[in-house]
Amino acid sequence: MKTNVSPTRMELNNLKGRIRTAKRGHKLLKDKQDELVKRFVTMIRENEKLRREVEKELQEAFANFIVAKAMVSERVMEESLMYPVVKGKIDIETANIMSVKVPKIEMVIEKDGENADTALYPYGFAETSGELDNAIEILRDLMPKLIRLAEMEKACQIMAKDIQKTRRRVNALEYIMIPDMEESIRYISMKLEENERANITRLMKIKDIVM
């Protein structure tokens, strides 16, 4: 029983207004939580699929690097990869998912030279092997997926934290704040009814005395 509230009609009306607001807020937060969870599950599935693809292609690239390294000297390998001709710039913006800000990452590739294909390789083909070319091609094609994977994993982390925060707020409203206000309303209503019955009894007694 709540006894730390003032059992007045003004306090009763105030609590009724607060509980209406709390219930609306609870519904909005619950809807947000449900939608966030739905989108989070979709993103997690897409993230897992993309991660498997990236890991498979990375293994293929590393296998080609190992073969290439076995076919040429360490000096040739180092010199071939020492001065890359492809430059990249990362642009990071934010996207809004149900009021949750997640990163939007884009990589802009800048290549030296007019021919994009030959500009991919920072070396001549005389001393290197085809496996090194294959590895670099795989990594070039893989780069957008790596950027997308980083973007999605960070977004999933941010959304998971926001889902936890939203769930705590929903639970606080559902199991603490709203029940406490409902109990206070019942307590005040009971006290007001008791006072009203007492006033009626006094009036009846006064009436009997006067009569």
Least confidently predicted of 15-24, 127-136, 144-153:
127-136
Higher pLDDT pick, 127 / 38: 38
* Residue 210 within any structural domain of the chain: no
Q: Give the pLDDT confidence score for residue 155 in this predicted structure.
A: 94
Number of independent structural domains in the chain? 1
The range of the structural domain enclosing residue 162 comes to 9-203
Beta strands 86-97 and 100-111, pairing class: antiparallel
Instruction: List the beta bridge partners of residue 63.
Output: none
pLDDT tens-digit map of 147-183:
999 999 999 999 999 999 999 999 999 999 999 999 9
What residue has token string 């070319």? 133
Q: What percent of the chain has pLDDT over 90?
A: 50
* Residue 60 within any structural domain of the chain: yes
CA distance 190 to 184: 10
Dihedral pair phi/psi, residue 97, rounded to 5°: -120, 105
CB-side neighbour CA atoms (13 Å) of 89: 4
128 has a pLDDT exceeding 90: no
* Residue 170 within any structural domain of the chain: yes
* Residue 138 within any structural domain of the chain: yes
Mean per-residue pLDDT over the chain, rounded: 85
Cβ atoms 102, 95 nearer than 8 A: yes
Q: What is the pTM of this model?
A: 0.75
Whichever domain contains 151, its CATH number is 1.10.287.3240
* Residue 3 within any structural domain of the chain: no
